[in-house]
Amino acid sequence: MRGCGEGVRNGGEIMKIKMAVLAFLFLIGALSAQQAPNINLRDFGFYRVAAVSPVVHIGDPIANAAEHLILAKKAAGEGASVIVFPEESLGGYTAEDQFLNEQFILQQKKSLKWLVEQTKDLDAAIVVGVHFRTFDGRSYNTGVVFSKGKIWGAVPKINLPNYGEFYDRRWTVSGASINEVIDDPILGKIFLGSNQLFRIHELIFGAEICEDVWAGNTPSTELAHAGANLIVNLSASNETAGKATFRKGLIEQTSARLLAAYLYSAAGPTESTKDTVYGGHSMIYENGTRLSEAERFEFEPQITYADIDVQKLNHERARNMTFGETKFDRSKTTIHDLNVKADLFDLRRDYSPYPFVPANSNDLNERSQEIFNIQVTGLVRRAKAAQSKSFVIGVSGGLDSTLALLVAIEAAKKLNWSSHQVIAVTMPGFGTTTNTKNAAKDLSEVLGTTFKSISIVPSVTQHFVDIGHDPKELNFVYENAQARERTQILFDLANKHAGLVVGTGDLSELCVGYCTYNGDHMSGYGVNSGVPKTLIKHLIHWYTETKAAAEAKPVLKFISRNDISPELLPPSAEGKIVQKTEEILGRYDIIDFVIRYYLRDGFSSIKIYYLASKAFQGIYSQAEILKGITSFYDRFPKNQFKRTTAPPGPKVGSISVSPRADLRLPDEAECGWMLKELHAFIADKKL
């Protein structure tokens, strides 16, 4: 079924039958399941973390330890494997000169020891803010990490603010120069230093304290390059007008720069408000994306949770050579392996079924404008290089060719061409319906293009005679001959009119190979090659609402409602489309979901199936979800040869399958084993 002459629609009917059988078998398995599957999400790289803003009893470590215990138990009971309290939380950041009181310092250590013992049965690493004094009289503002009744380390604050409302240097010294084991008479041996990391399976976290993240050379930079994929920050950052916005931007950018998750635990309003107010602005980001954020100015204790994806972060680092090649000396870093299981059986993280489509309408409009401008600019530059005098484009009345035509019209304007220099060609064949043919003609006319209608029926019929093919045999030969004839017409017209053939195929079609090799697979420049199918309709809608002339809007809206089809097989007796792409391949939104998480994040087929089941719950059945996923994994490797020889086109997002840009794969690669693992997982979990 695969060779240099294979068309996109290769395996159309066979694949349809194959998918139906697989879907039926696994639907039966799903119906027989008696209970929800016992899936440990830690195996997918998910870890729940918690930022806690407790009620603070200023200067009373005993009361604070009791508050910490209640909240630590609650967070651990909710599945959090890392629980972080604010800066100086055990005594209160605003205790001021009480930090110089010997009894107060001693009581903090006793209260810490009690808290460590009381939480020994919790399956979590806990980080508490402690004012730690060493035997030589030096005091450090530290984050103490402990679990299962053992203190693993104390991380000191490096950058001490001593300006404005802050007087840290009055009570503490910087921990920049200390990295040693302290033998404390109450707490025992504790590693005190900033160069230490804490490991829970794939999750590795390091700590910094408040001002450290505001500094030019943050400790978290070194920690991330030493292996930390989570940075926790114990903070007591006060509130002033506009500071929260700046703080969010700071954490967002730090997490993005470090390709890490960042947990920021902030002191709340029960700290002293003598001259400052604390809002409890806790937040958790992952590689520049906000996962959760606390309500500020709440007097009740606040726990902010997020499920971070460590596998995703590690994949991002693996593909980012700038991060990977940054020099660091891991020999200077101590890594503690914590005895925390971190089991997680429920996911509190939403995944949009449409990852390429922003949920916010303003973001969607902005994204659409940006993508459209990239497409137009790419086409203009290509036309200048080719010294083209026209654009030639095959229009079918479908979504892809419509978007390509709109891009061509705007590109012509930038080139100061007449709209007549855009040559729109409809080439009706054996499967063309009246509705789509008329839509293509109407759109071309309202846009002012040169319009040509060239039937391919006579030439393809003659071609069947030439090669000895029975036209009653509606197979790949029947379909692909039409696609290749259309491509020949377009290129010959381009020769005649000094034109550039504008390709219409999209990213999704390229991924599953749903294009005819050396047919609609080929063009002079593929303006849609970086745009997934689920985004095409939104781009057309955006153009309709923001740029289209009034007379063009009705036809654009009509096209947006049409079924997706190559229209290569004869229509029904009523003139309706019978060859519906999504009945053959599966739903494009499911396929696009797989594309996003397979190509961009490197997720396993099992993880993608789990997330798709969650994202499309109530939208599609498990059988439909499995059909789309199976379709991708079955077709993606087999059709790499089409992507290897695909024409150039603009990269508009984070995913490109161009052999000259992001994707380097051999034509002979196989990933059938990934499907086998998925099917074994489904059978084992009785999904």
At the fourth CATH level, which superfamily is domain 353-587+634-666?
HUPs (3.40.50.620)
Type and span of the H or E element at 336: strand 334-337
User: What pLDDT does 9 receive?
Assistant: 43
- Give alpha helix (H) positions in 325-456: 361-386, 399-414, 434-447
As a whole number, mean pLDDT of residues 29-39 equals 50
Selection from 508, 502, 480, 492 nearest residue 401 by Cα: 502
pLDDT tens, residue by residue, 390-417: 999 999 999 999 999 999 999 999 999 9
User: What pLDDT does 271 receive?
Assistant: 95
pLDDT tens, residue by residue, 205-236: 999 999 999 999 999 999 999 999 999 999 99
Domain at 42-337, CATH from 1.10.150.20, 3.30.1330.10, 3.60.110.10, 3.40.50.10880 = 3.60.110.10
* Residues whose CB falls within 8 Å of the CB of residue 630, separated by 6 or more in sequence, listed in order: 19, 22, 586, 675
Q: Give the pTM.
A: 0.90
Instruction: Output the average pLDDT for the chain.
Output: 92
pLDDT at 36 over 70: no
Q: Which 3 state secondary structure label does DSSP give 292?
A: strand
- Pairing between β-strand 125-133 and β-strand 139-147 as defined by DSSP bridges: antiparallel
pLDDT tens, residue by residue, 619-645: 999 999 999 999 999 999 999 999 999
User: What pLDDT does 328 receive?
Assistant: 79
Share of the chain above pLDDT 70, in %: 95
Query: Is 524 within 8 Å of 492 (Cβ atoms)?
Result: no
User: What pLDDT does 37 receive?
Assistant: 58
* Residues whose CB falls within 8 Å of the CB of residue 539, separated by 6 or more in sequence, listed in order: 368, 371, 372, 403, 531
- Three-state secondary structure along 217-250? CCHHHHHHHHCCCEEEEEECCECCCCHHHHHHHH
Selection from 171, 167, 176 nearest residue 130 by Cα: 171
pLDDT tens, residue by residue, 240-281: 999 999 999 999 999 999 999 999 999 999 999 988 999 999
Banded pLDDT at 6 (limits 50, 70, 90): very low
Q: In what order do the strands lie in the sheet with 422-426?
A: 450-453, 422-426, 390-394, 499-503, 525-526
User: What pLDDT does 18 receive?
Assistant: 45
Tokens (6 digits) for 124: 């979590």
pLDDT tens, residue by residue, 543-560: 999 999 999 999 999 999
Q: Which 3 state secondary structure label does DSSP give 620?
A: coil
Domain edges within the chain: 42-337, 353-587+634-666
Name residue, tokens 């215990």.
69
Question: Any idea which residues carry the catalytic annotation?
Answer: 87, 157, 210
User: What pLDDT does 5 receive?
Assistant: 40
Rounded Cα distance between 87 and 484, Å, is: 68
